[in-house]
Amino acid sequence: MFGFLFRRAQATVDRAVDHIVHRIIIAIPFLIAGGFGTAALALRLNREYGPEITSLILAGGFAALGLLAVLAYHSSEGPSETAGATEEPAQASASAGAQGPDLSNTDRELIMAALTSAAPLALPALVRTVGRNLPLLAAVAAAAFIISRDGHSGAALEPGE
């Protein structure tokens, strides 16, 4: 009796998933091209302005791109249901969002209870994962240490000192 509805719902979900997968497959080459374009732009700006200014320029460009994406997302949502509301609640929610989420004592107790009940289950898996990948983590830490060291720190002394 309900078999037709289930098949129809499954076909709708399959089409939606197929559509999303195709969009992702189409987007991947553009993301890779964007990465190479950013690398080329960084090299070009590095030659002209130096590494610090280049990083600032790229950070500002990506921040502006992110703001444009946020504006495009919010404008595509259409008018919100609270458009006729007064300005005070909107300002109060904006100031609360800037300060972070407001957690009551009950919320904190619930979060702590969830963490303490989940920790015995998650901790062994985390320890196994870290233990299994310890050589890789040590190599990454050593590489980061070597890269971050200053090249002029006592290893290369001037010949008269």
Q: Is residue 1 part of a domain?
A: no
In the three-class reduction of DSSP (H, G, I as helix; E, B as strand; rest coil), residue 84 is classed as coil
Number of domains in the chain: 2
| Interatomic CA distance for residues 53 and 51, integer angstroms | 6
User: Do 57 and 18 share a structural domain?
Assistant: yes
Average pLDDT over residues 16-40: 87
Q: Is residue 160 part of a domain?
A: no
User: Do 15 and 65 share a structural domain?
Assistant: yes
Show the domain range for 140: 105-148
Residue 57 burial (CB < 10 Å; 0-12/13-18/19+)? Answer: middle
* Per-residue model confidence (pLDDT) at position 90: 47
Dihedral sign, Cα of residue 101, residue 106, residue 112, residue 113: negative
* Per-residue model confidence (pLDDT) at position 80: 52
Can you give the pTM of this predicted structure?
0.39
* Per-residue model confidence (pLDDT) at position 160: 52
User: Do 70 and 17 share a structural domain?
Assistant: yes
Q: Is residue 81 part of a domain?
A: no
